[in-house]
Structure 1
Amino acid sequence: MAEKTIDIASPILSRNERLADQLRQRFNETNTYVINVLSSPGSGKTTTILGTNERLRDKAGLRCAVIEGDIASDVDAITMKEAGMPAIQINTGGLCHLEGNMIMEAVDAFDQAVGLENIDVIFIENVGNLVCPVDFDLGENLSIMILSVPEGDDKPIKYPGIFQHAGAQLLNKVDVAPAFDFDMDRYTKTLDDLNPQAPRFAVSARKGEGMDAWCDWLIGQIEQARA
C-alpha cells in the first residue's frame, strides 16, 4: 500500500480564513478598529495596552476593549476591567495561539454586553508566542510586535516570521537598556532586512517614554481606516 500523507493544517487554516473574513466584515460594519498584539511572554503587552488605551481615550475620545488570550488564568482580564476597559478572557487550555472561532465568540459577548458599535478599538492580546499566532488571521486591521529589551536583540534573527508579519514594531522597556547587553545597531539592521516598511517605536510602557509618539501614529491609522 502506497504511503499517504494527510494535511490537517490546510482545512484548519481554510476554516480560519473564512471566519476572519466574516470578522473583518463585521468590524467594518461597526467601524471597529482591531489590533492583534503579538509577543513572547513578559514583553509588556498588558502594560502597553493599558498605556495605549489611556492615550487613545484622552487624545481622541476612543472607546477601547480587549480580548485576552492566555493558556490559563484571568489575571490580565481583571487588570483591564479594573482600568475601565471591557474585557473578555479566552483560555486556550494549551493551544499556543488564538483562532477565528474564539474571537467570534468574544465579539458576540461584547455585542451582547455593550454593543459592538459602541467599541471603537479592540485589542487582541494574543497568547505569548513568537511562532504560531502569525498563521492565524483574526480579522484585524493591524498586527503589532512587541519586543522587550531584556529578551535580547537576537529575537528577530531567531523568529523572523513574526517580525516580517508585523505592521508596527514596538521595542519596550528601553528605560532598562543600560542594564542589558542589547545591541541596537544589530536589532535595527535585522529589522531593516526583514521588514523595513513597518514603523518602529522605542517605548517604556510603564514609564511612558515614547508612548505619545506611538499613540499619535496609531490614532492616524485609525482615522485613515475610518475615512
Structure 2
Amino acid sequence: MPERTINLEQPILSRNEQLAAELRARFAQTGTYVVNVLSSPGSGKSSTILATNERLRDRFGLRCAVIEGDIASDVDAQLMKEAGMPAIQINTGGLCHLEGNMIRQAVDALDEAIGLDAIDVIFIENVGNLVCPVDFDLGENLCVMILSVPEGDDKPLKYPGIFQHAGALLLNKIDVAPAFDFDRAGYNRVLDDLNPRAPRFEVSATKGEGMDAWSEWLAGQVETARA
C-alpha cells in the first residue's frame, strides 16, 4: 500500500473559521464587543482584566463578562465572579488554545444565564501560550497581547507571530522594571518593525499605573464598533 499523508490542520482551521464568522455575526447582533487576551502564563492577564473591568464599569457604564480558558481548574473564573463579573470556565484538558466551538458553548451559557444583549464587553482569557492561540479566530473584535517585564524584552524576537497579530500591545508590571534588565528602547524598536500600527500601553494592573489610558482607549473602541 503506498504511503499517504493526511493533513488534518486545514479542515480543523476551516471549521474554526466558519464558527468564528458565526460568532462574530452573533456578537454584532447583540452589540457585544469581544476582546481575546493573549499572553504567556504569569503575565497578569487576570489582574489586567479585573482592573480594566473596574474602570469600564465605573467610568463608562459598560457591563463586562469573561470566558476563562485554562488547561485545568476554575481558579480564575472564581476570582472574576468574586469581583462581580459573570464568568464561564473552559477547561481544555491539555489543549494549548481555545477554539471556536468552545467559545460557542461558553457564549450559549452566558446567553442562557443573563442574556448576551446584557453584556457590553466579553473578555476571553485565552490559555497561556505564545504560539498556538494565534491560529484560532474566536470571533473577537480585538486581540490584545500582554507581555510582563519579568518575561524579558526578547519575547517579540522569539515569538514574532503573536506580536504581529495583536491589535493592541500591553507591557505589564512596569512597577517592577527597576529590578529587571528590560531594554524598553530595544523592545519598542522590534515592535516598530513587527507591528507599528498597534497602540502600546505600559501598565501595572495591580498598582493602576497606565490603566486609565488603556481603559479609555478600549472604551473608545467599543463605542466605535457600535457606531
TM-score w.r.t. the length of structure 1 is 0.99
The residue number in structure 2 matching 1:140 is 140
1:84-103 deviation per Cα after TM superposition (whole angstroms, max 9, x unaligned): 00000000000000000000
The residue number in structure 1 matching 2:162 is 162
The residue number in structure 1 matching 2:78 is 78
- Three-state SS of the structure 1 residue aligned to 2:68 is strand
Q: How many equivalent residue pairs?
A: 227
The whole-number CA distance in structure 2 between the counterparts of 1:170 and 1:2 is 51
The residue number in structure 1 matching 2:114 is 114
The whole-number CA distance in structure 2 between the counterparts of 1:188 and 1:3 is 48
- Three-state SS of the structure 2 residue aligned to 1:90 is strand
The whole-number CA distance in structure 2 between the counterparts of 1:157 and 1:129 is 15
Deviation at 1:4, TM superposition (A): 2.4
Deviation at 1:194, TM superposition (A): 0.2
Q: What one-letter code is carried by the residue in structure 2 that aligns with 1:159?
A: Y
The residue number in structure 2 matching 1:176 is 176
Deviation beyond 3 Å, 4+ runs, structure 1: none
Deviation at 1:59, TM superposition (A): 1.2
The whole-number CA distance in structure 1 between the counterparts of 2:216 and 2:81 is 24
The residue number in structure 2 matching 1:15 is 15
Deviation at 1:33, TM superposition (A): 0.1
The whole-number CA distance in structure 2 between the counterparts of 1:197 and 1:159 is 18
Alignment gaps of 5+ in structure 1: none
The whole-number CA distance in structure 2 between the counterparts of 1:115 and 1:56 is 19
1:129-180 deviation per Cα after TM superposition (whole angstroms, max 9, x unaligned): 0000000000000000000000000000000000000000000000000000
* Identical residues among aligned pairs (%): 79
- Three-state SS of the structure 2 residue aligned to 1:124 is strand
The whole-number CA distance in structure 2 between the counterparts of 1:216 and 1:66 is 19
Deviation at 1:3, TM superposition (A): 3.3
The residue number in structure 2 matching 1:101 is 101
The whole-number CA distance in structure 2 between the counterparts of 1:83 and 1:176 is 25
The whole-number CA distance in structure 2 between the counterparts of 1:192 and 1:2 is 49
- Three-state SS of the structure 2 residue aligned to 1:34 is strand
Q: What one-letter code is carried by the residue in structure 2 that aligns with 1:122?
A: I
The whole-number CA distance in structure 2 between the counterparts of 1:68 and 1:11 is 26
The whole-number CA distance in structure 2 between the counterparts of 1:20 and 1:90 is 17
- Three-state SS of the structure 1 residue aligned to 2:88 is strand
The whole-number CA distance in structure 1 between the counterparts of 2:194 and 2:19 is 29
Work out whether 1:90 is the aligned partner of 2:125.
no
The whole-number CA distance in structure 1 between the counterparts of 2:67 and 2:82 is 14
Deviation at 1:52, TM superposition (A): 0.2
TM-score w.r.t. the length of structure 2 is 0.99
